[in-house]
């Protein structure tokens, strides 16, 4: 079994397979987990998934910064708060994503996964008894099943004939801000502005991350460099500006894809996609890590069933594909309801696109 991508979806698939089957698993991650990755607030509702994967207690002892609330200036200029206390599940966490992902990958290795870092898949070829996979540095691997957890690129799924269907052009422009002795509330903040919206959150190492979510073509059409676009958007976000205070930006601005998309089909004979490779969502939905872990688990179960039962798995594949489509439909309704709340900027392209879709 070869799993492409060592994020939460790929690691969840590897952990499920190694803890509950006797199958041999190779997890291929093209990075070494050494680079910063945009932080994310983890809901306490994800803990049961981590417990199922056998890493819940390790995560609890990981000293990630607690997140006690989610705050937003959305619909008007006032900041509203939703406290995790009232969910009945305890607080959430602000993640160091690189450390979180590396922890999952190392846990998978401790359960028997062959973890391959710093390599990428170059080519796959169907064979009578499975697949031949070519990795960088002229490494070849034979396997019976493939799991695509390569993120929004969905490289593996596209390589075997599937196609991605993109719903919007959302991108995130992110920066890390230096640590400070000044106190900052242990909550994430979302703030709407004419060109999109801001997300900011503290990180476990004392830094803060701020991300401007906008559409790719608006960034290109600004007739200004990236920094000027960023600074203009920051000037329109008083709440985000206030919590960053006198912190300074460390490093360059980074642009990363955040568009909604789905892979069609999401699985096929001898392969299945999980996480963002199967369906990727607007970060506003907060579906990222939880959905990645869930689909990673279900993709592993489908793969194991297909290999061990040695019979037609078309019904199981159809059930998996139907479940992905159901989540996409539920997400689209959720996305419409979120964006319809903000009416101050209805005449701006970013908001007009989403509210036109809502009205339709």
User: What is the reported pLDDT for 45?
Assistant: 85
Say what the pLDDT of residue 138 is.
Answer: 86
Query: Band of the pLDDT at 89, cuts 50, 70, 90?
Result: low
DSSP, collapsed to helix, strand or coil, labels residue 72 as: strand
What is the C-alpha separation between 123 and 140, in angstroms, rounded? 10
Residue located via tokens 């709340």:
341
How many CA atoms within 13 Å lie on the side-chain side of 268? 15
How is residue 183 written in tokens? 């106190």
Position 357 scores a pLDDT of 52
Residue 297's φ and ψ, nearest 5 degrees, are -65, -50
Average pLDDT value for residue range 266-286: 94
Per-residue pLDDT at 358: 46
Give me the pLDDT at residue 182, please: 63
Task: Please state, in angstroms and rounded to a whole number, the distance separating the CA atoms of residues 135 and 122.
Answer: 5
Half-sphere CA count of 157, side-chain side, radius 13 A: 28
The residues pairing with 255 across neighbouring beta strands, listed in sequence order, are 173
Cβ(222)–Cβ(236) below 8 Å: no
Cα-based torsion angle of the residue sequence 126, 128, 130, 133 in order, rounded to the nearest 10 degrees:
-40
**Would you say residue 78 has pLDDT above 70?**
yes
Listed residue (147, 131, 164) closest to 4, CA to CA = 147
Q: What pLDDT is stored for residue 108 in this prediction?
A: 97
pLDDT in tens, 106-159: 999 999 999 999 998 999 999 988 999 999 888 899 999 999 999 999 999 999
Domain 2-64+95-167+259-334 is found in CATH 3.50.50.60: yes
Predicted local distance difference test score (pLDDT) of residue 88: 45
Residue with tokens 């929004």: 152
Phi, psi torsion values for 233, nearest 5 degrees: -65, -40
For the stretch 296-345, pLDDT in tens is: 999 999 999 999 887 778 999 999 999 999 999 999 988 989 999 999 99
Residue 39 has which token pair?
């932080």
- Taking a C-beta distance cutoff of 8 angstroms, is the pair 108, 102 a contact? no
Q: What CATH code is assigned to 170-257?
A: 3.30.9.100
pLDDT of residue 80: 85
What's the pLDDT tens digit per position in 233-255?
999 999 999 989 888 888 888 99
Q: What are phi and psi of 217, to 5 degrees?
A: -70, -25
Q: Are 282 and 215 in contact (CB under 8 A)?
A: no
Instruction: Indicate if the pLDDT at residue 224 is higher than 80.
Output: no
Question: Which ranges of the chain does DSSP label H, i.e. alpha helix?
Answer: 8-20, 47-52, 56-60, 97-110, 155-159, 216-220, 226-235, 238-244, 288-309, 314-341, 349-359
In the sheet with 196-202, reading across from the earlier edge strand, the strands are 80-83, 69-73, 187-193, 196-202, 208-215, 170-177, 249-257
- Partners of 108 in beta bridges: none
Predicted local confidence at residue 15, as pLDDT: 98
Token pair for 334: 């959720």
Query: Scanning the structure block, which residue is given the tokens 């290109």?
Result: 220
Q: Is 288 helix (H, G, I), strand (E, B) or coil?
A: helix
- For residue 196, the model assigns a pLDDT of 97
For CATH 3.30.9.100, the residue range(s) in the chain are: 170-257
Q: Categorize the per-residue pLDDT at 85 as very low, low, confident or very high, splitting at 50, 70 and 90.
A: very low
Flag whether pLDDT at 27 surpasses 80: yes
Task: State mean pLDDT over 89-106.
Answer: 84
φ and ψ at 60, to 5 degrees? -60, -30
Q: Where in the chain is the domain with CATH 3.50.50.60?
A: 2-64+95-167+259-334
């Amino acid at each position: 079994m070869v799993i492409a991508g060592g994020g939460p979806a790929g690691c969840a698939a590897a952990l499920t397979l190694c803890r509950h089957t006797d199958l041999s698993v190779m997890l291929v991650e093209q990075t070494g987990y050494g680079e910063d990755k945009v932080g994310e607030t983890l809901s306490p509702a994800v803990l049961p998934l981590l417990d199922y994967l056998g890493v819940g207690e390790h995560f609890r002892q990981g000293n990630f910064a607690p997140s006690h609330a989610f705050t937003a200036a959305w619909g008007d200029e006032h900041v509203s708060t939703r406290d995790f206390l009232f969910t009945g599940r305890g607080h959430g966490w602000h993640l160091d994503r690189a450390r979180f992902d590396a922890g999952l990958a190392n846990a998978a290795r401790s359960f028997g996964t062959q973890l391959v870092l710093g390599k990428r898949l170059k080519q796959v070829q169907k064979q009578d008894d499975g697949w031949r996979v070519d990795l960088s540095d002229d490494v070849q691997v034979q396997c019976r099943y493939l799991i695509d957890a390569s993120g929004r690129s969905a490289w593996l799924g596209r390589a075997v004939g599937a196609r991605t269907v993109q719903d919007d052009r959302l991108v995130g422009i992110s920066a890390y801000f230096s640590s400070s002795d000044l106190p900052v509330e242990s909550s994430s903040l979302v703030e709407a502005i004419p060109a999109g919206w801001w997300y900011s959150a503290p990180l476990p190492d004392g830094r803060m991350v701020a991300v401007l979510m906008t559409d790719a073509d608006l960034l290109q059409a600004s007739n200004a460099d990236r920094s000027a676009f960023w600074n203009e958007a920051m000037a329109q976000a008083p709440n985000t500006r206030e919590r960053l205070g006198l912190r300074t930006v460390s490093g360059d601005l980074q642009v990363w894809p955040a568009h909604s998309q789905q892979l069609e089909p999401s699985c096929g004979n001898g392969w299945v996609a999980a996480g963002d490779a199967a369906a990727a969502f607007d970060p506003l939905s907060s579906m990222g890590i939880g959905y990645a872990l869930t689909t990673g688990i279900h993709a592993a179960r489908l793969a194991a069933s297909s290999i061990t039962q040695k019979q037609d798995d078309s019904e199981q594949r159809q059930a998996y594909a139907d479940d992905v489509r159901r989540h996409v439909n539920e997400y689209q309704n959720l996305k419409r309801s979120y964006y319809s709340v903000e009416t101050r900027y209805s005449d701006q392209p970013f908001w007009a696109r989403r509210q036109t879709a809502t009205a339709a």
